[in-house]
Structure formats: C-alpha cells, structure tokens
Amino acid sequence: MNTSHAKAVRDGLRAFHEAPPVPAAGPGDGADRALELFHEVAEQVPAYRRFLAEQGIDAATDDFSRVPLLTKDNYLRRHSLPELCRGGRLEDAETVAVSSGSSGRPTVWPRTVLDELAVSRRFEHAMYASFRADERRTLVVVCFPLGTWVGGMYTAAACRHLSAKGYPVTVATPGNNVDEILRVVAELGEYYDQVVLAGYPPFLKIVIDRGSGWDRYAIKLLLAGEVFSEAWRDLVGRRAGMTNPVTGSVSLYGTADAGVLGNETPLSVSIRRFLAGRPDVAEELFGSRRLPTLVQYDPAVRYFEAYEGTLVFTGDGSVPLIRYHIADDGGTVSYRRMLGHCRRHGFDPEAGLTDREIARLPFVYVFGRSLFAVSYFGANVYPENVSGAVERDDVNAWVTGKFVVYVDEEPRLRVVVELAPGAEPPPGATDLLAEAVRSDLRRLNSEFANYVPDERQTPIVELRPPGDPEYFPAGVKHRYTRPSGHPSAP
C-alpha cells in the first residue's frame, strides 16, 4: 500500500469539499505554481528527469521559458507508462483512460481520484454558475460513450463527486444509446427541477430531434468535443425548450491528456455571442474571423501559454505534463483585456449578469486542430466556416447538422450533408445549401474570398440519408473533414 498516495487522496477530497464553487485567479496568474510543479516533476518522475538530461536542461532552473515543450512523440511514446508516473508507480492509478486517436494511434492515460477532483472543479464551476445545480434538483444524463474513452467516465465521476459535496445531483449513464437516453428522461425527468444532457454536440442534436416534450424537463446541455456556432446553440436550444441561451448550455474544453481544461461561463458565452455578430471585432482579438470555443480556466490548476498560434499547458496529474504542446490552434486573453476590448466596441459583457455568473478568470480560445481543415487553392476551409449554412432556419428542418467537407481531384470543394430522418428536402435544396456555404465562406474566411477563383467558390453539395455508412456511420465520433472523398480516408 502506498500510504503517501492514500494521504494525498484524503487531503484532495477534503480540499475539494471545502473549496468555493468558483475559483479565483491567484498571485502570479499560475506562473509560480507552474514553475513549482516543474521542479517537483523533475525530481519525482523518472521519464522527465531523463528528458531534461537529454535536452541539456538544468532541473534547478527558474527560467520556465527555457523548459522544452513536450509532445506525444518526443516524450510520451518514448517512455513506458510507469516511467511517466511519479516514482515510476503505475500501480497508484485506479483506472485508465484512452484517447480517441484522432491524430494518430490511441494513447493510454493512468488516472486517480485526484485527477477526477481536478476535473470535477471545472464541472462544478459550470453546474453552479450556469445551471444553479447547487439549489436545483438535477438529473445528469451521460450521453457520451462509456468505456475506456475519457468523456463518459469522467463526466459520471465528476457529477458523483458533486453529489457527495452536497449538490442535489443524480447521475444516469445510458451512454450513447438514443432509445435508452429517451427512456431515462421519460421515467426520471419529472422528479427533478432540471435535466442535464451531457454529450457531443451533434449527438445531442440527434437526441433532441428524436425526442419530444422537452419543455417539461427544463433541459440543459453540457457539451464537449467540438466547436459549434451560436446559431447551433440557438437552434438546439429552441428545440429543447430552453429560454436562456447564455445559461442553458455549457461547453467544456478538454482532452484525454488532462481531462477538462476550461469551461464556458455565462460571461464567456455572452462575449462569444457578441463576437459571433461582429467578426471584425473577433478578428482584432483572435487574429481570425473564425469563431473559436471561448472558455475560462483556473491558471493555478492548468497553466496555459500560447506558442506560435497554438496552445501549450502545464498541469498536474497521474502523468504530470510540463509545457505540453497539444497542437490546438488558439491562444489566451486576460480577463482585463477581454472586457476592455468588448467595452471599447460598445458591449459590456457583465451587464445583466449576476455575481455567480461572473468569473474573474483568464480566457483561452480554441479553434481546434489545423489538421481538421481542408486546403482549397491555398485557403484553409474549417468546419465552423460551413456549419452555419446547415443551421439556418430555412435549412435545419431537413438536415441533422452533420456534414463532411473535402476537395476532389478536379479540384472542387464538396460538401456532403446528412438528411434528417424522414425529411423531404425542398426543390433546389442542394443549390440553396451551396449558395449558403459560399456566402458564409466569403464572409468569414478572407483566405477563401481572396485565394479561390470566383468560378470555384460555389461548392458541390450532395445529400445523403441519415446514418449513411460511408459518411455518417453510427456509433463513431463524426469527422467533418476528409483529405479526399473516399470513405476510407482518415
């Protein structure tokens, strides 16, 4: 028995139960804690000691900017799992999670209760600030796949920790089985003040579209895994009977590498909705008219840095990660700079929000990974450039919201769109969608507007039935882009 680990778990549980629901940024904005963690890991983790020696880095250095970045290839895949853990002790892990492998082969991540508690703090912030789950009887229905994948098990564990802390929260775990989700809600929903559906955005849209009578249950959405538009938030919110888009849904930014790194707040959602209508203002802030996921984070727990337009973070865990390069395109914005930028453009994000809805924490914005874009005449076309076209009011009644973008050999930009079950598209549906996509691309993507010849800017749109095995197979995480149209393309 490892008594020191057992004591750390007991201390962690006590600290979690005593912590306030909304974190506050401490002195040094997380930089001091990141440097402290670096020194701890350099001393205690065998693989990291070897890595620093190979890089010629003095483990006693206080110059955090000189510490080399970690990646899966230069660190994680070069060492055994035990060597990546403190003291080389894999046996301290109570469970393991597996990454999706979307950018390569899957990776195994050891996990302990301490990892769950760090993630539970992000869930608590979301559930407290947006859903008021501390004072409302809440049924959380986990709609993520269950198993070794990180989303479902982490969500269930985090919500159980909240229940143990005193929140009136009950967790049901039907997983990504639509019929079972609808049965759980129908049988249990009436006994709670609200029902939270937790899952991937496109899957939850399927659940909402398949069900009915949602306004009986005060539905809330806890989302993760994908960037979505504010039009999508409004559309699915209306179908689920939600009345407040700012507090009705929360997106979590997380990875299998370190769990949940940040969460949307009513403040961040209000800002994002403002920027969605002002792409020029968004471009000043983010350097792009693309609308990223915008969340707030606790820098003392997950310390973010921007590196050449991508994100690097430092965080503790069963496999501690120091300046880990996750390859997500994005950056950070301080709380003061974000609010100042909005106010200079005539918008006060805090106006109308309550104290619990305002978190004075820094922001991290995430576009996702550039490998999920397709290149067309030198312009990167991203899924979020296309999603708005399939979420328009004159379109969303007959499509599911899923699509696949690729470039054929000619080259022409092609968009394959999934029809909603039982839907009959109107005459000229493909032309309507093609023009909507072209219009959004020209408005939101300056590369597209300037690089792509006018005669090649209108995409070729194809409609496919729901669950089409080539483009929309059931039971797997959907990919919105492909390097080619062939179904076997990664």
Given this model, what pLDDT does residue 102 score? 45
* Strand, helix or coil for residue 238: helix
Pick left, alpha or beta for residue 327 (phi over 0 → left; psi -120 to 50 → alpha; otherwise beta): left
Q: How far apart, in whole angstroms, are the C-alpha atoms of residue 199 and residue 191?
A: 22
Tokens 């549980």 correspond to what residue?
A: 13
Given this model, what pLDDT does residue 100 score? 52
What percentage of the chain reaches a pLDDT higher than 90? 66
Instruction: Report residue 350 as tokens.
Output: 């805090």
Mean pLDDT of the region 254-258: 80
Q: How far apart, in whole angstroms, are the C-alpha atoms of residue 141 and residue 184?
A: 8
Mean pLDDT of the region 39-63: 95
Given this model, what pLDDT does residue 104 score? 43
Given this model, what pLDDT does residue 167 score? 97
Q: Residue 488: pLDDT band by 50, 70, 90 thresholds?
A: very low
pLDDT tens-digit profile of 107-123?
788 999 999 999 999 99
pLDDT tens-digit profile of 405-439?
999 878 899 999 999 999 999 999 999 999 999 99
Domains of the chain: 374-464 (3.30.300.30)
Mean pLDDT of the region 305-327: 93
Given this model, what pLDDT does residue 380 score? 79
C-alpha pair distances (Å), 358 with each of 2, 60, 272, 414, 428: 41, 39, 14, 42, 46
- The pLDDT of residue 476 is above 80: no
Helix axes 46-55, 31-44, angle to 10 degrees: 100
Mean pLDDT of the region 344-355: 96
Q: How far apart, in whole angstroms, are the C-alpha atoms of residue 466 and residue 146?
A: 23
* 413-419 sheet: strands from edge to edge: 399-407, 413-419, 460-464
Tokens 């629901």 correspond to what residue?
A: 21
Contact residues for 293 (Cβ-Cβ < 8 A; gap 6+): 227, 251, 253, 264, 365, 366, 367, 368
Start-to-end CA distance of the chain, whole Å, equals 44
Mean pLDDT of the region 202-206: 82
Given this model, what pLDDT does residue 487 score? 45
Q: 261 or 476, which is more confident? A: 261
Q: Which of 96-110, 260-274, 325-339, 373-387 has the highest mean pLDDT?
A: 260-274
Q: What is the rounded average pLDDT for all residues in the chain?
A: 90
Given this model, what pLDDT does residue 187 score? 97
Given this model, what pLDDT does residue 27 score? 61
Given this model, what pLDDT does residue 266 score? 98
* Strand, helix or coil for residue 365: strand
Given this model, what pLDDT does residue 486 score? 46
Comparing CA positions, the residue from 445, 443, 449, 457 lying closest to residue 277 is 443
Range of weakest confidence among 86-100, 175-189, 366-380, 468-482: 366-380
Q: What is the dihedral of CA 367, 371, 376, 381, to 10 degrees?
A: -20
Instruction: Give the phi and the psi of residue 384 in degrees, each rounded to 5.
Output: -70, -15
Q: What is the pTM of this model?
A: 0.81
476 HSE (CA, 13 A, CB side): 13
pLDDT tens-digit profile of 71-103?
989 999 999 999 999 999 999 888 888 765 444
Given this model, what pLDDT does residue 28 score? 67
| Greatest CA separation for the chain | 70
Rounded (to 5) percent helix, strand, coil in the chain: 40, 20, 40
Mean pLDDT of the region 181-204: 94
Given this model, what pLDDT does residue 490 score? 36
Contact residues for 176 (Cβ-Cβ < 8 A; gap 6+): 143, 144, 145, 146, 199, 203, 475
pLDDT tens-digit profile of 126-153?
999 999 999 999 999 999 888 777 788 8
